[in-house]
Amino acid sequence: MFLQTANPEILGQDGLPPIVTTSESIPVLQLAMHGGWIMIVLLVFLAIAIYIFIERLILINQSSKEPSNFMNTIRDFVHDGRLDSAKSLCANTDSPIARMIGKGISRIGKPLNDINAAIENVGKSEVANLERRLSWLSTTAGAAPMIGFLGTVIGMIQVFFAMESAGGNIEVAMLSGGMYLAMVTTVAGLIVGLIAYICYNYLVARIENMVFVLEARAAEFMDLLNEPVK
């Protein structure tokens, strides 16, 4: 009887055949298709969240641009008694600060408390405009993972149903569909929720900074009305 020996050309340094490893990329699109209708719902959530984030970000960037030398010009107009020029400047300047200060200028001559209240009302209205649709982002951040977990439950139900239907003849291929649904929807839900959560908190931080600027300019305008005319 002859013994078969391995070809020494393919042996490793330790005398054993080398271990051959292969790497395959995960077909993301194919995996997503296993998620079924839940993946469509999550995709719609993601598309709307991204749209709202971009639209709100553009608006916030435009609103946060403070006109150059705006408050100094307003101060000169008010001190010189040129209220019409101040109103015209505010009307021709498209920014929350200009609209807020314009409302205050239109109330000059009335008690300071009334002027301050008018400015605060405009400021609140501007902030509310910036915060529009943000509730959708917060809703998506919480709902997307729950929708993903719903897919997990549905997938596990499919797995147990397949096991029950197969009786004792259980094969991996029979269970793979439900397991795909369970895992893919969970991952997708967490990803969509995380994206929405980050977008929401970023926009909230930008709006809070804008609120601080509006409050500072409102206080500066009220101090202007209390300054003695030179």
Work out the pLDDT band at 185, boundaries 50, 70, 90: confident
At residue 16, the pLDDT reads: 52
Of 39-53, 85-99, 150-164, where does mean pLDDT reach its minimum?
Answer: 150-164
User: What's at 143, amino acid-wise?
Assistant: A
CA torsion through residues 94, 95, 96, 97, sign: negative
Distance, CA of 160 to CA of 156 (rounded, Å): 6
Average pLDDT over residues 119-139: 91
Q: Which residues contact 52 (CB under 8 A, 6 or more apart)?
A: 133, 134, 136, 137, 199
CA neighbours within 13 Å on the CB side: how many for 189? 21
Distance, CA of 71 to CA of 77 (rounded, Å): 10
Check whether 216 has a pLDDT greater than 50: yes
At residue 3, the pLDDT reads: 43
Strongest mean pLDDT among 13-22, 61-70, 119-128:
119-128
Of 8-22, 127-141, 147-161, 167-181, where does mean pLDDT reach its minimum?
Answer: 8-22
Strongest mean pLDDT among 31-35, 61-65, 82-86, 207-211:
207-211
Q: What is the pTM of this model?
A: 0.76
At residue 150, the pLDDT reads: 83
